[in-house]
Amino acid sequence: MIRKINTSPAETLVLGELPKGCRQCIKGEKLVLFVHGICHRDCFYCPLSEKRKNKKTTSANEVEVKEEKDILKEAQLSGALGAGITGGEPLINLENTLHYIRLLKKTFGEKFHIHLYTSGDHADETTLKALEDAGLDELRYHIRHDNWKILKKAQNRKFKVGVEIPAIPGELEYLKKLTTHLDKTGIDFLNLNELEVSELSAKKMAEKGFKTDGAWYNSVIGSKKTAKELVEFAAKNTKNISIHFCESKVKDAYQFKNRLKRRAKNIKKPFETISSGFLLKKGAVLSKNPKHDILKIKHELNLKDTDFFVRPEKSRIEMSVSNAKKASRRGYEAQVIEELPSADAFDMEITPIKSKKQSF
């Protein structure tokens, strides 16, 4: 009997059941907790940027973590219902990783779903028991060709066990053997990620003959085809394992954008509106000394304290678009801003407000 291949809410291929971590990720409900960029491996396709690779810095989404309250605050602001713990190799610093799992579970409850990515090289019996006791919900192995056996000791625990690897062109036969093995041995799921070229991996990828399709996501030609063929094979040759092919577009078009939608609703100031579904739209008056100028502008425009926000680091005073237009008519340099509702608050679009100065 051929198993049915379905499509996820992110238009990705799914055989069986989409893992809960993936379901939450697609909806933007996951906090991305980057423990550190330290890893004992040197995968040629490693997607880490120069800013993160081999660095000890911890981050929660786009927020640098200096103390544990930074993690909790970002989880709350982004409306997270779970977390994906990643790196580098999170298990290199097992103490911190376990602490973060316990902290999140204690703060947000047992239903707060946590999955963790690992090579498995540091996942001995003691470590696996500690992860289980801490409340981990999913363990995702990034296994290599020669270490399938490490999966066995993670099974029959309270957490789900899966494998997550890139769909590398030319490795279809290997993937077929792996999938058959995973199905027979009772692994819960296999996630195939579309192979991408990053800033640091570009040279090694080119040396191996991989080329991008020219799309925005830098996906490698042949990766999607390999994944689709593997899913079709699995539909005919497996019984229980769930398989998900996650395309490159999912991160930006679904995961990131949906997370920003949730965050925008939580951080929106009274004078801001949400545009394009996830951007914070507002007006702004430019000022070299906004803390000083706000006193005059507040009086001239008859503003309440909730009608504006002073941003010295961006040399501006933020307010509603309508109030910014009023300020422009009084001779102030003003703009309409559309800003990412992320911790780095990047200005996606800036439109100058042009208006004739009033005569007095």
The answer on pLDDT for 357 being more than 70 is no
* Interval 179-197 mean pLDDT: 97
pLDDT at residue number 354: 87
Q: Which residue ranges make up each domain of the chain?
A: 5-262, 268-353
Angle between the 172-185 and 223-237 helix axes, to the nearest 10 degrees? 40
pLDDT at residue number 274: 97
The answer on pLDDT for 32 being more than 90 is yes
The answer to whether the CB of 332 falls within 8 A of the CB of 326 is no
Burial class of residue 273 in the structure, from the number of CB atoms within 10 Å of its CB (0-12 exposed, 13-18 middle, 19+ buried): middle
| Percentage above 70 pLDDT, the chain | 98
Domain 5-262 sits in CATH at 3.20.20.70
Which token pair is 123?
């996942």
**Could you read off the pLDDT of 340-349 as tens digits, one per residue?**
999 999 999 9
The answer on pLDDT for 359 being more than 60 is no
Q: Which residues of 20-53 are buried (b: 16+ CB within 10 A; e: fewer)?
A: ebbbbbbbbbbbbbbbbbebeeeeebbbbeeebb
**Could you read off the pLDDT of 86-143 as tens digits, one per residue?**
999 999 999 999 999 999 999 999 999 999 999 999 999 999 999 999 999 999 999 9
Higher pLDDT, 53 or 146: 53
Q: What is the residue-averaged pLDDT of the chain?
A: 95
Read off the pLDDT band of 147 (50, 70, 90): confident
Residue with the two structure tokens 């994906």: 84
Q: Rounded distance, CA 352 to CA 257, Å?
A: 26
Q: What is the sign, positive or negative, of the torsion defined by CA atoms of 46, 48, 53, 59?
A: negative
Three state DSSP letters for 141-160: ECCCCCCHHHHHHHCCCCCE
Query: What one-letter code names the amino acid at 258?
Result: N
pLDDT at residue number 1: 86
pLDDT at residue number 356: 60
Listing DSSP states for 227-265 in one string gives HHHHHHHHHHH-SS-EEEEE-THHIIIIIIHHHHHHHHH
**Could you read off the pLDDT of 53-95 as tens digits, one per residue?**
999 999 999 999 999 999 999 999 999 999 999 999 999 999 9
The answer on pLDDT for 283 being more than 60 is yes
Which token pair is 193?
């990620």
The answer to whether the CB of 337 falls within 8 A of the CB of 281 is yes
**Could you read off the pLDDT of 284-332 as tens digits, one per residue?**
999 999 999 999 999 999 999 999 999 999 999 999 999 999 999 999 9
Predicted model pTM? 0.93
Q: What is the sign, positive or negative, of the torsion defined by CA atoms of 31, 35, 36, 42?
A: negative
